[in-house]
Structure 1
Amino acid sequence: MAPVPCAICKTSRALIIRPKNHQKLCKACFIAIFEAEIHHTITTTALFSPGDRIAIGASGGKDSTVLASVLKTLNERYNYGLELFLLSIDEGIKGYRDDSLETVKRNAQQYDMPLKIVGYDELYGWTMDQVVETIGKKGNCTYCGVFRRQALDRGAKMLGIKHVVTGHNADDVAETILMNLLRGDLPRLARSTSIVTGDSTSDVRRSKPLKYAYEKEIVLYAHHKKLDYFSTECLYSPEAFRGSARTLIKSLERVRPSTILDVVRSGEDMAKLVPAEVTGLSQCKSQKVSLSSADGEEDGSAGCGSNGRSSGGEMADMERKLQDDEAASGREIEITTVSSTNGQQHARVAGKSRKEVGRKLTRQTLGTCKQCGYMSSQDICKACMLLEGLNKNRPKMEIEVDVEDEESSTLRRKIEGLALAAG
């Protein structure tokens, strides 16, 4: 069988089948298209301005390594005028993060970028190994996620930077949308679909330049560019709820390759139905464009949250119909049957209109935590609340007791009680 030519240049041999649309490409054309799509995302969403100082959240993994490489390339090619830094968080996971940090240090030399490393132990007095030892593996990703987001912002402030970019890809965004949909958390779903978190008035903004890039294509790009990255999975992540969402997304992708972008676009459409005052976000001008769909369509005029296939009129019509249905429900009366004293049944008309039953969405207002001063929509930020629970469970003294028999067990409980009382 003759070699298949590249679908773009028509001359070189095709070596890559794009997971996004099964297009057959040569190595050079794939790299060029991948970088062009990231450039398209950056320019159409106006992520950066000339002179911006940008901190790249670097973990040493494929996503952040590719992000650093692509941003350096595009910054030089298109003269963005950005000053790039690497910001890495040391969660304190032995056998995982300590090894990946060595990769980050090599990346800093390879890309000639300054590197700042901030540790959980430095910020919170806990490492993730200690957290897992205290609470177990179930739910530990909640602690790590809250601490990591805050650590990125604090690290950026240490560098005097107001914009952090992370390597979240289309697969990550689709998983987050699915998780929040299963939880019924529409405000958080709306915030997670935005390519930018925060605005020019925020202390620190976060953005996702790889939002529309498939994870498999990121791996292909790293492989063909021969990038140096760390590929070991976190020791504690298999217990996370996100793993279930990831399994479902991957299963759907095998049947329909466009599933990932379809979920992302659906999440963007649903986000438009959530009031901006509830999400804490203004109408997101940063989401006015989605990248091309699997068949190559592009539409840059479809507005905020566009899926690239329509003007969004269908969702607006649906919203109007829902409002009409809610208004009609207020005019309904409820008729029930009740038994009289002589055993006969008759109809009774309720005097009050049926009340709409629904969950009230609370409005999110960004302020600062009263304890640590970090930006938070609550009086006490999530990190401080989690730390308070951890510190209450931290043992006051190390005591080894033989607990083989009942008498030793009783003695251990008495000693623990005395230790708590002393604390």
Structure 2
Amino acid sequence: MPVPCGTGCGKNAALKRPKTGDALCKECFFWAFETEIHFTITKGELFKRGDSVAVAASGGKDSTVLAHTLKTLNERYDYGLNLMLLSIDEGITGYRDDSLETVKQNRDDYEMPLKILSYKDLYGWTMDEIVAQIGRKNNCTFCGVFRRQALDRGAALLGVKCIATGHNADDIAETVLMNVLRGDIARLKRCTAITTGSEGTIPRVKPLKYTYEKEIVMYAHYKKLVYFSTECVFAPNAYRGHARALLKDLEKIRPTCIMDIIYSGETMSIKEEVTLPSQRICTRCKFVSSQEVCKACVLLEGLNKGLPKLGIGKSSKAKKMLEEYNARQNTLEQVIDDLNDTNIKKKSGKKRNGLTDKCNSKTCCSGNCNSTQNNMEDNSKINSLLDEYSLKETDKPVQQLNDVSDDEEGCSSSCGRLGGLGVGF
């Protein structure tokens, strides 16, 4: 027997809302869904008339529904917003390259300009290359850090007032659980904020903060929106997956647990004696950071120096690794200088009793002179040093080994000086 729509519109219900349990027809569900997001936007004062807003678009259900809903509400309630799409290409073969095609379809469907930035252009690395260096255990750390900063860089290029992200209620509840399990007090305090960003930075807003993931899927399904649903090939190893599994188990027992967890995070207070890191500006890339050098620059420096684990774990561990690396590089430079000096002396020849110390097979002792012995000792020293510092012997002159310790090329990537993009950070 058909169930009538709970609003009394006279139509039969087509679905039961996961968030409230109400039986609604499709049209009433659309209206309730969009009205709740409109209420979130107006209550949180997320936008101002005339603002340029970049929608962080990945091609997934959340960003697709966000773009569609913002366009709809912008026209219905006359927000006066200038909406555009901002997408980040992480360089994940078989995932991001396909999802970007969906983003381009959204661009055409919603008539919004699209800007795509890639990790390769911004940092000189793709996620495929990073995973090849570090493995699959900590790859989400690199991707998350680089993606957050890439959005900031893209927003700066577009000159927008804020970035609208597709974080939904499930995402925020998962983040609360993750921060509780990790004891991350600083992130726990700000992860439920609907607007994030310090003074002088481009803020991020979450219009879908109180929207359930299941309802987003239902909205996209009944609206027949085009979105990309394949999971990232590196995501199964993410720590967030365990928090998501826990949340889904809790939701089966108590559907309201998602909102309860968010409310707990919003009302949680921190003891006064607990010191929290203050946001500042990174001395290298000039983007927001809680330390002198931001996490993105630390991770990038580790990749460029062959220390992919540099930014993983505690900062004290990273400092120790850098000190050991710099000590090794300084020692290597001194060794190379010594080898260069030896090479120059051998070429010029040492004068002994007014004569040069060069072996002449016509007049000398068939290779048994002091000069030949010195050459053998020098070659033995060079070979042992090459082995010690893991340098392969080549046909190039010894002085060209200085390229091994040249880090100037890595500096431009770490500081984010992107001539090709016309931006100097």
Match in the other structure for 2:345: none
CA distance in 2, matches of 1:22, 1:247: 22
Q: Is the 8 A contact 1:186 1:274 kept in 2?
A: no
- TM-score with structure 1 length normalisation? 0.73
Match in the other structure for 1:13: 12
Match in the other structure for 2:230: 232
Number of residues of Structure 1 aligned to a counterpart in Structure 2:
320
Q: Is the 8 A contact 1:187 1:274 kept in 2?
A: no
Amino acid paired to 2:194 = I
> Is 1:387 matched with 2:360?
no
| Equivalent residue in structure 1 for 2:220, among 213, 222, 228 | 222
CA distance in 1, matches of 2:222, 2:271: 41
> Is 1:203 matched with 2:195?
no
Match in the other structure for 2:391: 418
Identity %: 60
Shift of 1:415: 9.7
Post-superposition Cα deviations, 1:109-151, rounded to whole Å, max 9, x if no partner, equal 1100000001001111111111111001101111111000000
Shift of 1:69: 0.2
User: Where do residues 13-412 of structure 1 align in structure 2 (5 Å cutoff)?
Assistant: 13-198=12-197, 201-270=199-268, 272-273=269-270, 361-393=274-306
Shift of 1:269: 1.1
CA distance in 1, matches of 2:161, 2:38: 21
CA distance in 2, matches of 1:103, 1:82: 23
Q: Is the 8 A contact 2:186 2:276 kept in 1?
A: no
Residue 138 to residue 11, structure 1, CA distance change in 2 (3 Å): same
Residue 68 to residue 274, structure 1, CA distance change in 2 (3 Å): farther
CA distance in 2, matches of 1:415, 1:87: 48
Match in the other structure for 2:346: none
Amino acid paired to 2:19 = K
User: What SS class does the counterpart of residue 88 from structure 2 fall into?
Assistant: strand
CA distance in 1, matches of 2:274, 2:184: 10
Shift of 1:389: 1.3
CA distance in 1, matches of 2:187, 2:124: 29
Q: Which has the larger radius of gyration?
A: 2
CA distance in 1, matches of 2:271, 2:257: 23
Post-superposition Cα deviations, 1:167-209, rounded to whole Å, max 9, x if no partner, equal 000000000000000111122111111000025x332100110
Post-superposition Cα deviations, 1:63-114, rounded to whole Å, max 9, x if no partner, equal 0000000000000000001000100000000000000000001100110000
Q: Is the 8 A contact 1:162 1:203 kept in 2?
A: no
Q: Is the 8 A contact 1:167 1:210 kept in 2?
A: yes
CA distance in 1, matches of 2:161, 2:274: 30
Q: Is the 8 A contact 1:103 1:229 kept in 2?
A: yes
CA distance in 1, matches of 2:5, 2:179: 40
Match in the other structure for 1:3: 2
Amino acid paired to 1:41 = T
Post-superposition Cα deviations, 1:46-79, rounded to whole Å, max 9, x if no partner, equal 1111011100000000000000000000000000
CA distance in 2, matches of 1:60, 1:94: 15
CA distance in 2, matches of 1:415, 1:232: 47
CA distance in 1, matches of 2:259, 2:57: 25
Amino acid paired to 1:153 = D
RMSD between aligned residues: 2.0
CA distance in 2, matches of 1:76, 1:109: 17
CA distance in 2, matches of 1:97, 1:125: 17
CA distance in 2, matches of 1:209, 1:220: 17
